[in-house]
Chains A and B, each alone.
Chain A
Amino acid sequence: MATNENTALSAAKTQGGQKMDMLRFATAGSVDDGKSTLIGRLLLDSKAIFEDQLAAVEQSSQSKGFDYTDLSLLTDGLRSEREQGITIDVAYRYFATPKRKFIIADTPGHVQYTRNMVTGASTADLGLVLVDARQGLTEQSRRHAVILSLLRVPHLVLAVNKMDLVDYDQATYDKIHAEFTSFATKLAIPDLEIIPISALKGDNVVVRSENMPWYEGQSLIHHLENVHVASDRDLVDTRFPVQYVVRPKSDDFHDYRGYAGMVAGGVLKPGDEVMALPSGLTSKIAGIDLHEKEIAEAFPPMSVTVRLEDDIDVSRGDMLCRPANAPKPSQDIDAMVCWMTNEPLRPRQKLAIKHTTRSGRALVKDIQYRLDVNTLHRDQETKELGLNEIGRVQLRTTVPLLCDPYSKNRTTGSFILIDEATGTTVGAGMINSGT
C-alpha cells in the first residue's frame, strides 16, 4: 500500500498540470460481479476515499454482522438503496492518478435498468464490463456490451473478476476471452481489452498480479491511464451549435455580437469561412473569444464565443459549419431510440425533442423493429417500445434537425425525447440518418 499512497499524493499535487487530462468511463455489472467492490478499491487505492467515509462504511459493515469491510457500501449512496441492498441509479465517482482524472458513471446491471446504463454510457469514453470468472459470460454481460456499442463508447474493457476464486486459472480466462472476442465482432467496438482481476484481493487492479504470470497485459489502472482518447473526437467536420447570443450593449462593447457555444466537431480558426444553418448564409470568423482572451483556434469540447465578420442573422438553435461540409437539415429522422418510461412508445405519438441547442416536436411515424439486446434479434412484429427497450424508430420533426449520423458525431447525432405532459425525459435517440 505504500506505493499507492505515494501515487495518490503525487496525483493530487500534479492535478491541474497541463499534461493531465480526463477520462470518463461507465461501469456495468451486477451486484454479484463485484463491481462495487472494484470501484471501492479504485477509490481506496487512489486515496479518493477519506477516513471518515471509510469509518462510516466499517461501522455499517459491522452493524450488518459482516466480518469484512463491505466496500460496496462506499458507493451505494442513497438510503433507499442501502435498505434494498441494490443500486438504483447512475452515480458518479471521482478519482485521480498522476496521469489522469477519472469520472466513473456507475450504473446498475439489472435488466430493468437499461436506461441507466444508456445514460451512463452517453458521456463515456470507455466502458468497463465486469464478469464473474466462475460464471463466465452471461446474458447480462452481452447486453452491457451491446449497449456500450450502440452508444458508440469507443473503448471497452472486459474485467474478468474473482480470478482468486478460480485459482487464477488461465484456461478459465482464455475461454471467456475467446467467447467474448467472437461475440464482439458483431458489435461496433473499435478497442477491446480483456483483463483478469480480483477486485477483492487487488490482483491486476493497480499493479500486475504475481498470481497470474501467464497474463501479459497491463493492470486495469495502467490501461485506464494510458488508453488513447484524443482521436475519438471529430476534428475534421466543423460543427458549432449556437447556444446563446452575447450582446453586451455596453459603452465599452457597444457593437459586440458573439455566438456562444460548445464546439461539437472540427477546428475553428479566425479567417475560416463559415456557413450558418439553416439560413445557409456565409461569413468569415472574425475572432474567437474565451473570456478576455482571443484564441487562435477552438476544438471539441471547448466553450467559446465566435464573432463573425458580417452581421448575418444567427440565433440559438442555429449551427455554424463549413460551406462545403455541412449537415443536411432534416425533418425525417431515422434513429435508434431507448425508451425510458413505463407507458410504451407507440406510432402516432407526439413528443418534444431536444437536439443540440434546438428544440421542437416530433411525431412517431413508425417503429420498425425492437432490438433484443441479448441476442441482437430484430423483432419486427412488435409495434411499440416498452420501458428499457431499444428499437429503430422513424420520426417527423416540426423543425429541421441539423444532424449527423451518431456513428460520426455523438453530439450532433443524439437527441432526447420529452413527454410534453409530465416534462420528463422519456427517450434517448441515436440518429442513423436524416432525410
Chain B
Amino acid sequence: MTSTHADYRLSQLDQLEAESIHISREVAAEFEKPVLMFSGGKDSIVMLRLAEKAFYPAKIPFPMLQVDTGYDFPEVLACRDNWVNRLGVRMIVASVEEAIANKVVVDDGKTSRNRLQIGTLLHAIEEEGFTAAFGGGRRDEEKARAKERVYSHRDEFGQWDPKMQRPELWSLYNGRLHAGEHMRIFPLSNWTELDIWHYIGQEGIEIPSIYFSHQRRVFERDGMLLSESDYNPLKPGEEVTERTVRFRTVGDLTLTGCVESPAATIPEIIDEVAASRITERGATRGDDRFSEAAMEDRKKEGYF
C-alpha cells in the first residue's frame, strides 16, 4: 500500500487522471455503444491507458476504432498492435482506401488523406451504430478547441455546432441523444502537451518510436521536413538527406513533418517541448496551416 497523504493534496497529473477516469466510466455507464477513436499518437495512447485504469481488472468495455489512411507510419501500427494485444480490446479498422473504393468519400487527387478521414470516420460510426466516440483532443491544441465540451454533441450529419453546445457544469455530463446523433467524448480536454509528456514519463507508457530522435531520410517541402516514402514522390528540386529527427505528432505521413532533434528520452523531449516556441500542430501539420480557421472548419464537418 502507498503511504498516507499528509496534506491530502493531489498533483496536477493525479487530478487530471482522476477526472479522465471519471469521464471514461460515465461514458461506459451511460452510453449504449461507445467506441474509442485511436489515432496511434501519444494522446490517444494516454487516453487508452486511462481507460485501462478506469476498468481494471476488467477489460475495457468498448472497442477501438482506427481510421487507416493507407499512409500510416509502420512504427505507429506496430505500437498499436502491442497495445491491442496486451489489453485484448477489439480493434475496428476503417480504411480510407476502402471508403474511396466504395465511394463513401471522393479522392479528387487534391484532398488530403486527413480530410478524407472525416467521411470515412463518420461512415464507420454510422455503420456500427456507435453512440459515443472517445477522441484524444485537448483544449490547449488550438483556439477552436478551447470551447469544446468534454461531451461534444454531433447531429445526424456528425457536425459540430459551436453555437448550440450544451452547457457543461460541475462533473455532471449530459449524454442524452436522439436517434442518429452521437457524442464525441474528450477525456483529455484539460491536459496540455506537457501534461501528456509528463504522464507518459511517470507511467512508463509505450509510444511509437518515431517520437524519439532517430536517423531518417527526409526532404524539405513547404518549410516542413517530410519522410522519404513511396507515398511521397519527390517533386523537381526536392532532395533527400539523412538527418537526426523526431516527430511531434503522428498522422498521415505525406503531411506530417518531423523536426531535427537529438531528444531521445522522455526528459529530453520534455525539455525540448518546454523550450519550444511553436505549437506542435503549427510546426509539423500541413493540414492545419492553410487558414486561421482551418481547424474550426474541419471540426464543424465532423473532424476529431
C-beta contact mask, B68-83 vs A, less than 8 Å → 1, else 0? 0000000000000000
Please indicate the chain B residues that have their CB under 8 angstroms from the CB of A89 in the complex: 147, 162, 165
A22-B143 contact given A230-B7, A414-B172, CB 8 Å threshold: no
Residue on B nearest A299 in the bound complex, by CB: B8
Residue on A nearest B138 in the bound complex, by CB: A94
Q: How many A-B residue pairs have CB under 8 A?
A: 218
A52-B292 contact given A119-B167, A260-B25, A297-B4, CB 8 Å threshold: no
Please indicate the chain A residues that have their CB under 8 angstroms from the CB of B283 in the complex: 52
- Asked whether, in the complex, the Cβ of B8 is within 8 Å of the Cβ of A13, the reply is no
Provide the bound-state CA to CA distance between A135 and B276, in Å: 40
Does residue B159 face the partner (Cβ distance < 8 Å to A)? Answer: no
Residue on A nearest B283 in the bound complex, by CB: A52
Please indicate the chain A residues that have their CB under 8 angstroms from the CB of B225 in the complex: none
CB neighbors of B among A403-427 (8 A): 410-411, 414-416, 418, 423-425
- Asked whether, in the complex, the Cβ of B271 is within 8 Å of the Cβ of A425, the reply is no
- Asked whether, in the complex, the Cβ of B169 is within 8 Å of the Cβ of A22, the reply is no
- Asked whether, in the complex, the Cβ of B147 is within 8 Å of the Cβ of A53, the reply is no
C-beta contact mask, B284-296 vs A, less than 8 Å → 1, else 0? 0000000011001
Closest CB in chain A relative to B189 CB, distance in Å: 7
Closest CB in chain A relative to B268 CB, distance in Å: 12
Does residue A37 face the partner (Cβ distance < 8 Å to B)? Answer: no
Interface size for A (C-beta < 8 A) is 90
Does residue A296 face the partner (Cβ distance < 8 Å to B)? Answer: yes
Does residue A92 face the partner (Cβ distance < 8 Å to B)? Answer: yes
Residue on B nearest A429 in the bound complex, by CB: B169
Please indicate the chain A residues that have their CB under 8 angstroms from the CB of B275 in the complex: 9, 12
Closest CB in chain A relative to B51 CB, distance in Å: 11
Provide the bound-state CA to CA distance between A243 and B279, in Å: 37
- Asked whether, in the complex, the Cβ of B178 is within 8 Å of the Cβ of A56, the reply is no
A21-B10 contact given A9-B275, A50-B279, A256-B57, CB 8 Å threshold: yes
Does residue A122 face the partner (Cβ distance < 8 Å to B)? Answer: yes
A79-B293 contact given A53-B279, A96-B194, A301-B18, CB 8 Å threshold: yes
- Asked whether, in the complex, the Cβ of B9 is within 8 Å of the Cβ of A21, the reply is yes
- Asked whether, in the complex, the Cβ of A20 is within 8 Å of the Cβ of B58, the reply is no
- Asked whether, in the complex, the Cβ of A20 is within 8 Å of the Cβ of B12, the reply is yes
Provide the bound-state CA to CA distance between A21 and B8, in Å: 11
A22-B15 contact given A13-B274, A94-B190, A244-B29, CB 8 Å threshold: yes
CB neighbors of A among B254-279 (8 A): 270-271, 273-279
Please indicate the chain B residues that have their CB under 8 angstroms from the CB of A424 in the complex: 166, 174, 176
Please indicate the chain A residues that have their CB under 8 angstroms from the CB of B58 in the complex: 246-250, 253, 256
Q: Determine which of A17, A53, A80, A93 lies in contact with B163 in the assembled complex, contact meaning CB atoms within 8 Å.
A: A80
Does residue A233 face the partner (Cβ distance < 8 Å to B)? Answer: yes
Does residue B144 face the partner (Cβ distance < 8 Å to A)? Answer: yes
Please indicate the chain A residues that have their CB under 8 angstroms from the CB of B55 in the complex: 244, 246, 260
Please indicate the chain A residues that have their CB under 8 angstroms from the CB of B273 in the complex: 12
Residue on B nearest A95 in the bound complex, by CB: B192
Does residue A267 face the partner (Cβ distance < 8 Å to B)? Answer: yes
A246-B198 contact given A22-B15, A52-B279, CB 8 Å threshold: no
Does residue B238 face the partner (Cβ distance < 8 Å to A)? Answer: no
**16 A-B contacts, Cβ less than 8 Å apart?**
A12-B270, A12-B274, A21-B10, A21-B15, A52-B278, A92-B146, A94-B192, A101-B12, A233-B8, A248-B59, A256-B58, A262-B171, A296-B2, A303-B19, A416-B172, A423-B174
